[in-house]
Structure 1
């Protein structure tokens, strides 16, 4: 899992969207005058600074969430690798779609839920912090989950990756924005009644995070995990009376995140109730960005 930065590195700080000391207004105006896009202009400015002041790249970036230097030049280098995010409410099938994308295109599937379970099991500092909230039935706060994910992303700077479960909030999206520029963001739109039915019929194996649905993905033996033979449980917030509240909360929190990525032209929305029906379109979208290693007919 790698070392994790101290919590002080993740305390809220004023937004610093433009790391090289240039204002957004002046940078945009200079880009317009040169005929370059703002993104191209940011890269060229950073490259020029690196040539004139090479030591700058080794200095601390005051807005970097994990306390390491990541100016625009590093972001430009990272942009050569595919950076993708999948969004969707509980029960939308994000995990299934992510697994297919990862296997078809060789991307690292980075699940915030998986990393949380790993850290809690290993009794790391961030895991113990998250556990306190989870045991009380509370959401893990932004500064804890952001610290966890920034550390994991730092360890995978040289890999193509697909994020699942992060960012969930606008604050988390801002933190991610400080270290990379996303190429693709997918959001899954599933009818409300379908989500309610799926979640109400969902059972999980807590140690591994494996999810079963009694309708379309049932365990071989009712109530028993296929791999370990251990008992399955239904989470309190998967029970019918809690599902509607969860879905409303997701909609409220996700809306500004979706609007952010929509405004940047990287958002792609897929609607449907069956993964197999939307999969060919998801596959085609990723094929335009990265060479597949497995055909879509494999599923």
Structure 2
């Protein structure tokens, strides 16, 4: 099976690594505003935004054998294997024609993280972490999703707990490597984007 990094494993000259795509993991609890900011980053910095959840849902909708398998696992309350999600991410990366990606909502846990690096041989350039107090995320979700049954207080709090329990070890792992860029996400959208812009301008290119 060809992978998105196939070309990077060949050749011995110094530019081999330059062919590897730039990957930024985007993490934050439900309601932290990461989706809005990803759209701004795409518009201003030319990244392709890949949401692991959206890719899984699209695969289910496609009616493929893989999609049926994913749907059955979710129905049974099982976790979709990391390799399945990673293959969907790789395919989307290959098909995009781009070399800069925001991967949103993945890795969800340490096992995802280790599998992604193992399979793709790609380490993220950095992790963009939208840090938002639970009360603020709760307020946003309740305001935004009135009438959606999965957004009652109890469910929302469960989602926060799952995010913290599973994603915090990933954030801590990359923080120890100096790769976490933490954004205070409780502020207004424009203020948050100013902080995001500063990170991307210094890290990758000049904003224009």
TM range (shorter): 0.7 to 0.9
Aligned to 1:93: 33
Quote how far apart the aligned CAs of 1:71 are. 3.8
Match for 1:172 among 73, 97, 112?
112
Give, in whole Å, the separation in 1 of the partners of 2:165 and 2:73.
21
Mapped partners of 2:194, 2:115: distance in 1? 32
**Residue 106 of structure 1 pairs with residue 23 of structure 2:** no
8 Å Cα contact 1:112-1:164 kept in structure 2: yes
Tell me the TM-score normalized by structure 2. Answer: 0.82
Higher relative contact order (CA 8 A, sep 6+): 2
Distance of 1:71 and 1:175 partners within structure 2: 18
- Aligned residue for 2:130, secondary structure, equals strand
Higher-Rg member (1/2): 1
Query: Is there any run of 5+ residues in structure 1 with no aligned partner, and where?
Result: 6-59, 204-213, 215-232, 295-299
* Counterpart for residue 16 of structure 1: none
Normalised by the length of structure 1, the TM-score is: 0.59
Q: How do 1:1-299 residues align onto structure 2 when only pairs under 5 Å count?
A: 71=9, 76-79=17-20, 81-136=21-76, 139-156=79-96, 159-178=99-118, 179-203=121-145, 234-236=148-150, 238-273=151-186, 274-292=188-206, 294=208
How many residues are matched?
Answer: 202
1:130 Cα offset (Å)? 1.9
Equivalent residues of 2:107, 2:167 under 8 A apart: no
| Residues 248 and 120 (structure 1), Cα distance of their counterparts in 2 relative to 1, 3 Å cut | same
Is the 8 Å Cα contact of residues 189 and 272 (structure 1) preserved in structure 2? Answer: yes
- Give the CA deviation at 1:285: 0.8
Distance 1:258 1:72, change over 3 A: farther
5+ residue gaps, structure 2: none
Cα 1:192–1:185 shift into 2, 3 Å: same
By how many angstroms is 1:68 displaced? Answer: 6.1
Any conservation in 1 of the 2:24–2:103 contact (CA below 8 Å)?
yes
Q: Given that residues 87 and 165 in structure 1 are in contact (C-alpha distance below 8 angstroms), is that contact kept between their aligned partners in structure 2?
A: yes
Greater helix percent: which structure? 2
